[in-house]
Amino acid sequence: MSIQSVARGLVRLASETHRRPVSGLIIVDGRGRVAMAYQEYANQGWCFPKGGIDHTESSAEAAVREAREEIGLEVELLAVEPLSFTGRAFHDSLGFGSPRVARSIIHKPVCRYFGDRHEVTKGESPGDSISKGAYDLISRAWTMERGFKPSESEVLEVFDAAHSMMVTWLQSPTYHLAAFRSHVPHEMTGETDEAAWVNPLEIIERAGEGVMTLPRKMHGDVVKVAAMPDFMRLVQLASASAQCSDRPGIW
């Protein structure tokens, strides 16, 4: 049975919605402020740093990586149960967010980084891994067509042949609670227009406004997290073990 037959299995599955695991962080500094990224891309607005999980990493590992790449922070994850829920559905390629097909493009060469102008000097690094969502979908199609699970090399071979096919993804975010340790702006990869420390009470207030247009828009995940009864308790918990950033806040 050829790779093309497995690809045809993917086409049959394309009419369904497929889970795309995403990992993010609620990062708090010693002053009780929460780190947020402003991203005009896809009309996201103000959001917590987040991104797709690669098939070679855990949710926790992906979260720490995203903290560096999206918002330029070194963090320590706390031993607290992460927050998980269902996000939005969107239409994009099987290869969306996979390092295996990434190009080192700096989409946002300049970021307003916690009050300062920062020039981004590196883009997303290409690699051999693919998104966990793509890996799981290909594994499902392979098993459906061939009756047994594929090896990693077989999954990657199918991916290389079919990464441009369109898929309906359903974001499945998990947010880890994290304590701020240090600023590492040189680790950013050009995805963020602005990074800022924000008072959590302001997050709750703005999330409740329901503004859907930039620049005041809050990302849907932020709205969900800010509405949770434990949000302020989690912020206080993380703040107790975090370093204090010397950068100014906003709002």
Which structural domains are found in the chain, ordered by start?
A: 3-244 (3.90.79.10)
Q: Are 196 and 118 in contact (CB under 8 A)?
A: no
* Average pLDDT value for residue range 131-160: 95
**CA of 63: how far to CAs of 38, 77, 228, in Å?**
17, 9, 21
Instruction: Give Cβ neighbours of residue 120 (< 8 Å, ≥ 6 apart).
Output: 106, 108, 109, 110, 111, 188, 189, 190
Is pTM beyond 0.85 here? yes
Q: How far apart are CA 141 and CA 9, in angstroms?
A: 5
Are 194 and 38 spatial neighbours (Cβ–Cβ below 8 Å)?
yes
Which pLDDT value is given to residue 6?
A: 87
Q: Which residues contact 83 (CB under 8 A, 6 or more apart)?
A: 26, 174, 175, 225, 228
pLDDT at 5: 82
Average pLDDT of span 152-169: 95
pLDDT at 1 over 60: no
CA pair distance 204, 222, nearest whole angstrom: 9
Given a cut of 80, whether residue 2 has pLDDT beyond it is: no
